Structure 1
């Protein structure tokens, strides 16, 4: 016998809908998790997107600013290098030179086991080899040492060092009253017939080329290798001159950056 098929008694909750104009109905898709659990779908807020766009625009402005600053710095360095090259070709600048032309130790006494009284007559010759470059010096402070023993201080007045000029600077260097030094080092000075000396000159100098003037910077001149005889403290005895005159000195720039001097 043929098997009979009976229609289902349960109604279809989602009957197929017919498309307009008699066409086929669109296919139905299964519900997603948000629809199945009754949760609203997540949609990005437009405000956050605008904030991201604004942040991206700010980064672009910073990058552009850094790029322009770098280009300006490179251009300034190139211009400075070109100006320095032109200045060197036109004027051929050279450093001034300093030599110890004369030095006499007229007094060296031990007033106490740890105090020294000294007196020196010092002459320094400064030469400017440049043809068009001048140097303007502030007052020059002078300090004389023998090893670790400080023998005294002096000063040179300010002066203008003109081009192709030789200037002789003279001063008297003496120790301060009651200046204490190391006792063993001080007693060792009197036992020697000659003592080595080191001379330091500290000042500030600027460059002048015609009407152009530069800012003054610190310089230090150090003279080493000078030896003088120790006076014997005899009445009527003249002070002996240095045994090594015309000693050349080294000139160094002293540039101050904030709290440091290099």
Structure 2
């Protein structure tokens, strides 16, 4: 025979069997997830600025490398090849003839190549012009020739002028005879610098002279008292 007894359950067990949420203490608040904030790594936050700095450094390095190459190349060029600009000197000047509308002069120039290895190729198109008191006495052409290193070559230039102004200026200077005359001589010479058969650079040498002569008489050699000149090179 079985006997069944109704024994009341404790309050805790009854609460567990029922609604579990209602059994939680009222004083404990419900749990919430903590706020989530993602902090970017330092290498990501500075990525944009570092890329700009990297490009700037590369550009500066490239410019410095090019500049260094140019400087070294010029130094090697100066040490190995010894390129120098030619020098011109007025050696002789003569007023040969004065006519009604022309004046002829004889001019001798000494061309010096001071370089020890670089040769000079004078091309066509070089000219010499002589003026007096703002009027041109005449002009002539420089010959084309090849000048070796460490060489001095004297060339003769026939200077001829036409026009009443040039002839009048020459006649006036010739009548003075014993006085000092200041002439202007303008030389323009296209030159090709070369090393053997290799052409290095092409330039034009421009020289302006102020030549003071004594006794500018037709048919007689002129006594050159002093010369001053300025030189420039056009590339």
Instruction: Give the TM-score normalised by the residue count of structure 2.
Output: 0.66
Does residue 83 of the first structure (1) align with residue 73 of the second (2)?
yes
Q: Which of 170, 181, 192 in structure 1 is aligned with 2:176? A: 192
| Distance verdict in 2 for CA 1:119–1:83, change over 3 Å | same
Of 85, 96, 109, which aligns to 1:124? 109
- How far the C-alpha of 1:251 sits from its partner, in A, is 3.3
Q: Distance in 2 between matches of 1:160 and 1:244?
A: 28
- Taking structure 1 as reference, are residues 65 and 120 closer, same or farther at Cα in structure 2, changes over 3 Å only? farther
Deviation at 1:224, TM superposition (A): 2.3
CA distance in 1, matches of 2:96, 2:174: 13
**Partner of residue 208 from structure 1, selected from 194, 197, 203:** 194
Contact 2:117 2:149 in 1 (8 A): yes
**Structure 2 contact 84–115 (Cα < 8 Å) conserved:** yes
Matching residue within 160, 166, 172 for 1:174: 160
* Normalised TM-score (structure 1): 0.60
Structure 2, unmatched stretches of 5+, are: 1-22, 31-46
CA gap of 1:70–1:89, structure 2 versus 1, over 3 A, is same
Give the superposed CA RMSD.
3.6
CA contact (8 A) 1:110 1:186 kept: no
* Structure 2 counterpart of 1:114: none
Match for residue 203 of structure 2?
Answer: 217
Q: Is the 8 A contact 1:219 1:253 kept in 2?
A: yes
Structure label with greater radius of gyration: 2
Distance in 1, Cα, partners of 2:53 & 2:108? 60
1:118–1:175 CA contact under 8 A, matched in 2: yes
Q: Contact 1:119/1:174 (CA < 8 Å) preserved in 2? A: yes
Alpha-carbon distance in structure 2 between the residues aligned to 1:134 and 1:106 = 34
Check 1:23–1:158 CA distance in 2 against 1; reply closer, same or farther (3 A cut): farther
* Structure 1: unaligned runs, 5 residues or longer: 1-19, 27-55, 112-116, 233-238, 256-262
Q: Is the 8 A contact 1:105 1:229 kept in 2?
A: no
What is the alpha-carbon distance in structure 1 between the residues aligned to residue 97 and residue 55 of structure 2? 67
The alignment of Structure 1 onto Structure 2 pairs a total of residues equal to 195
| Contact 2:174-2:217 at 8 Å conserved across structures | no
